[in-house]
Amino acid sequence: MNACPTHGALLGGFVLGSLEPAEMEEMRRHVPGCPYCAPDARALGRLPELLDTIEPADVPPPSLSPAVEEAVLDRFARERGRQRRARRHRLRVTLPRAAALAAVCAAAIALALVWLGGDEGDSRAYASAELAPMGSGSKAAGTAWADDVAAGTRVRLRAWGLPKRNRGVYELWCIREDGRWVSGGTFRTGSDGRAEAVLTAGVRPGDYHEMVVTRHMGGEHGPALLRGRLRY
């Protein structure tokens, strides 16, 4: 799968129906005409159905500890975009149902890894960067892998510890040797400050040696929150 450079970070939440109403409406208008999102949405579209089609009889009653059951419920609530308080009132699942949900979550995670193009050992990456926080007191960090693609460079980004400000929207930049900042697109964090995204920047191997993450400023780049030098 190829992630949309403008709306790719919203596609998972759109398929699961967990976005804000305005974002859902924006994606409904965007997806049908997008060459990236339309096929990806079709490929991921059956995931929500699995939650409705799996019957308790399909899974033998497991022996789960209360801690494991709670972890499964928390994972399901996050994927559906529900808050903890709503989860306690709305989700009433039996142990077999909880096991079925765990299987679906595992499948979704595996599919997400394929969507992101593999792990850090992927031989397609021509460079990587460890992104360190700028400024004292920050616990944010991240890792980026750069792949050569027809449009320039595809960046597979994982970040954590980012504050959920400005609605959790951030932007990745590649800094060229001549000092020019080239945007790789925007991405969003989850409620836990973590993010996984696939972005595309118009740069080639050797054109740049640094990656920077800033808050999204609408075309202008603000102060760096994360910065890292590429290892080719």
pLDDT at 231: 92
Tokens representing residue 229 in the block: 């030098």
- The per-residue pLDDT for 34 is 86
- pLDDT, the chain, mean: 75
Tens of pLDDT, residues 181-218 = 999 999 888 888 889 999 999 999 999 999 999 988 87
Query: If DSSP states are collapsed to H, E and C, what string results for the chain?
Result: CCCCCCCHHHHHHHHHCCCCHHHHHHHHHHHHHCCCHHHHHHHHCCHHHHHHHCCHHHCCCCCCCHHHHHHHHHHHHHHCCCCHHHHHHHCCCCHHHHHHHHHHHHHHHHHHHHHCCCCCCCCCEEEEEEEEECCCCCCCEEEEEEEEECCEEEEEEEEECCCCCHHHEEEEEEEECCCCEEEEEEEECCCCCCEEEEEEECCCCCCEEEEEEEEECCCCECCCCEEEECEC
pTM of the model: 0.49
Q: Which tens digits make up the pLDDT trace of 25-77?
A: 998 998 888 888 888 888 777 666 665 555 554 445 555 555 555 555 555 55
Domain 125-229, CATH among 3.90.1150.10, 1.10.3720.10, 2.60.40.200, 3.30.465.10: 2.60.40.200
Phi-psi region of 193 (alpha: psi -120 to 50; beta: other; left: phi over 0): left
pLDDT for 83-137, tens place per residue? Answer: 444 444 444 444 455 555 555 555 555 455 444 444 444 447 899 999 999 877 7
pLDDT for residue 98: 52
Residue spans of the domains in the chain: they are 8-115, 125-229
> What's residue 71's pLDDT?
57
Q: What is the pLDDT of residue 95?
A: 45
